[in-house]
Amino acid sequence: MKERTPLVTHIFTADPSAHVFGGKIYVYPSHDIPHDGEDDDEGGEYIMEDYHVLSLDSLDSECVDNGEALHMRDVPWVGRQMWAPDCAYRDGKYYLYFPAKDKEGIFRIGAAMSGSPAGPFIAEKEPIRWSMSIDPAVLADDDGRFYMYNGGLWGGQLERWQTGEYVPDPPASDPDSPAPGPFFAELADNMISFKEKPKTVTILDENGSPLKAGDEDRRFFEGPWMHKYKGIYYLSYSTGTTHYICYATGTDPAGPFTYRGRILEPVIGWTTHHSIVEIDGRWYLFYHDCELSGGINHRRCVKYTELFYNDDGTIRTIFPYD
């Protein structure tokens, strides 16, 4: 087992969405391209252009890079920056969901299909109607319904959609106002459209009040992920500026969710992004850091570590370098 070591080192990978399909482990990361440009608050340093699917027969086996699964040149609507993806399976087909800026520089969510979990994937010619912002994550619920969660502040443009329309230069948020949450939408039966316009998920504090925009230790920033454990929905996400992976729980996939604590303490590098998956009856956190590159923010590597629950359903905090 290569716990807490990079899955691959020949390319830089980040934002891992891990799944078990057909008894194998598949990881859908973004692909960092090395360059000498400067970092900025809009994420301009993350210039990713394609996706590679990683796979493992087991956590004890070598990780395989299955090659290019989708490139921006094959997606007519994409202008640049294909960021963190996810994948879902239904009725013999695999659906890759990915964010990218369109020709006008607005982030949308695209969908692509394949008969294989490793791809290659064929993308739809247009983004999903009503889609906006970044970081799609799809929950396949126990009743056969599929839900997408997505969104990200700053470079992910979430603040620009708070009126329901895209506002290029929104006013600064009031730290005492409710924090914007991720978007939530049920996927239609065709898996490439929404049943209705996405709604905003609310995350509450221990007193039942929405988390405040200024509560940077707990409020949502980006990278939502949803999983279920013993019938409870666990919404986990990055706090961005404070670099934690936190989580909130609820009994309805649409929320609201109540903040419960931290899953992962800060890693090397500015961003932190994760997924949670059950493998052979045990739970694992897949995440990234910049250890492989010595701390260069846009040269990241994907890792994993085991995740543990307490008897009351809370998650034990992981210290990535202990």
Instruction: Supply the residues annotated as catalytic.
Output: 15, 222
**Which residue type occupies 31?**
H
Q: How far apart are CA 6 and CA 16, in angstroms?
A: 12
Q: How far apart are CA 33 and CA 21, in angstroms?
A: 28
**Which residue type occupies 294?**
G
Instruction: Tell me the C-alpha to C-alpha distance, in Å, between residue 141 and each of 117, 146, 199, 279, 308.
Output: 19, 6, 18, 17, 22
The answer to whether residues 132 and 141 touch, using CB atoms and an 8 Å cutoff, is no
The answer to whether residues 302 and 13 touch, using CB atoms and an 8 Å cutoff, is yes
Nearest-CA neighbor of 74 among 125, 108, 34?
Answer: 125
Nearest-CA neighbor of 105 among 84, 129, 77?
Answer: 77
The residue assigned the tokens 């603040």 is: 159
* Number of neighbours of residue 199 by Cβ within 10 angstroms: 13
